[in-house]
Structure 1
Amino acid sequence: MTKSLQGKVAIVTGGNAGIGRATARLFAAEGAKTVVCARRIEEGEQTVRDIVDAGGIATFIQADVSKAADVKALIDQTVHLYGRVDCLFSNAGISGNPGTPIVDLEEEEWDQVININLKGVWLGMKYVIPVMQQNGGGSIINMSSIYGLMGSHLQMPAYTASKHGVIGLTKSGARDYAPDNIRINAICPAYIHTEMVDGPMAADPQLATTIMGLHPIGRLGTVEEIAEAVLWLASDKSSFVTGHSLTADGGLTLG
């Protein structure tokens, strides 16, 4: 059976842990030469070792997605190594400090969250789209959230604003670059078992009960479930899908 990303080159930002790591592994298992990008070197290189040990092809490139020079270098180095870029999963992101209302939010935190979660997505598109135009097309998947579709239950104004912005940017890019055969979509998970979620839940049983109760399906999602959704958007199986925000939320947004 032909693998869904056979012969393609994919970049995963925030590939050092959680959804990013699971997606990088899956991309490689499906035949992609996979570039794992992260700020944390040791964890990013561990993802690469996992892929190589499983028989895949992968490289680690350190980058801070909030810095234009880093993102440009990431794309340039990928092209130098593998000759092209077919898929970019802009997954890197931070939550900020949940429980901080707008009036108490510090400018420094606002800037940090927006710069990584939204500016980082824009920079990825800015530098990869010209490469994809030369390739004859490609697929970009941007990490949004259920809180790109609704207000947060946990007072996360900067995070919520950033994820709404990702959806707007995704739609804008999808319309502009569809004629170039570049598909741009967003993924909108609910609460997923990751370091970002499991740590606070373990520290606060009441918070854990609240978060669990938000999901009609009765549980949180897994990183592997989100990786499968991202893979579908990256592959030719979703060839008629662009500008879409794919919600994987266990029913949370049903209200």
Structure 2
Amino acid sequence: MSARFTGTTALVTGAGSGLGRAIALAFAAEGASVAVAGRTAATLDETVALIEKEGGTAAAFTADVSRADDVRALVRRTVERFGGLDVAVNNAAVLRGEGSPVADLGPADWQAMLDINVTGVLYALQAEIAHMRANGGGAIVNVGSTLGAHVRLPGMGGYTAGKAAVAALTRAAALDHIGDGIRINLVSPGASDAPMSLRPGETHEERAARFTTPLGRLTSAEEVAAAVLYLASPDAGSTVGTDLVVDGGAAA
């Protein structure tokens, strides 16, 4: 087992399921103490239990990333629990109004995606950077999507706009804060084996048939996690403001 992150603390938002859970598990497997964050205590506790079952160290913190006070408190509690913050992964996101043309996208769906998918990333960056630049730097990885800067699909306008904004915000923050010793990058998954990509009532087989890639299959959550860990690791020491696409060639 690799131990690239032994002695470090990693914070992962949206860690109660899907990609966030896979990312948290991967950091713990490589030695990090992991703060798992999200809005639902029960699912966060499940993630912590999975980490501890494998001998890892984790703690669950409920937080709503659309609230700046919540995110500041999340960083503070992480530091209090583990003694620092070396890596942050901003993964929390929602998908609302899928299938709605732009003209028919409901204001509540639009606002929810802006609040969590865009403003939530901004608030998280601000709280994480405030700690890191006062404590010797760190690494931040935002989780975007191929939808936005790379691919567009009908009926996904709100989500696409938000993820395109995250891509731009990531690069701006990377330039602003590399001088503070903070490396900021983006991972953009395509269709992946995660709950968000399943439509209501859809089976895994039906989802696989709906998505086609040159690779011939969906990207696994573990493959996305591996990309995140690479960007957060010393192996990517000269990688700043990049957008790493992990989509089986769909956007090529």
Fold conserved (TM > 0.5)?
Answer: yes
Q: Which runs of 5+ in 1 are unaligned?
A: none
What's the TM-score, normalizing by structure 2?
A: 0.95
Q: How does 1:90-105 map to 2 (within 5 A)?
A: 90-105=90-105
Offset of residue 199 of structure 1: 4.0
What is the match of residue 229 of structure 2?
231
Aligned 1:230-249 pairs, distance under 5 A: 230-249=228-247
Paired AA for residue 245 in structure 1? D
- Which runs of 5 or more residues in structure 2 are unaligned? none
Q: For 1:182-197, what aligned pairs fall within 5 Å after superposition?
A: 182-197=182-197
Structure-to-structure mapping, 1:59-98, within 5 angstroms: 59-98=59-98
CA contact (8 A) 1:202 1:208 kept: no
Secondary structure class of the residue paired with 2:215: coil
1:251 aligned partner:
249
In the alignment, structure 1 residue 177 sits paired with structure 2 residue 177: yes
- Partner residue of 1:7? 7
Separation in 1, partners of 2:59, 2:209: 39
CA distance in 2, matches of 1:204, 1:194: 10
Describe the SS at the equivalent of 2:75: helix
Map of 2:139 onto structure 1: 139
The 3-state SS of whatever aligns with 1:185 is strand
RMSD between aligned alpha carbons? 1.7
Q: Cα offset for 1:69?
A: 1.1
Cα distance in 2 for residues equivalent to 1:24 and 1:204: 23
Identity of aligned residues (%): 38
TM-score relative to the length of structure 1: 0.94
Whole-Å separation in 1 of the counterparts to 2:206 and 2:19? 25
Q: 2:12·2:90 contact (CA, 8 Å) conserved in 1? A: yes
Q: Size of the alignment, in residue pairs?
A: 252
Secondary structure of 2:16's partner?
coil
Distance in structure 1 (CA, Å) of the matches to 2:70 and 2:20 = 18
Cα deviation, residue 151, structure 1: 4.3
Cα deviation 1:38-90 (Å, max 9, x = unaligned)? 11111100100111111111000000111111111101111111221111100
Distance 1:225 1:208 in 2: 17
- Give the counterpart letter for 2:39 in structure 1: R
* 1:222 aligned residue: 220
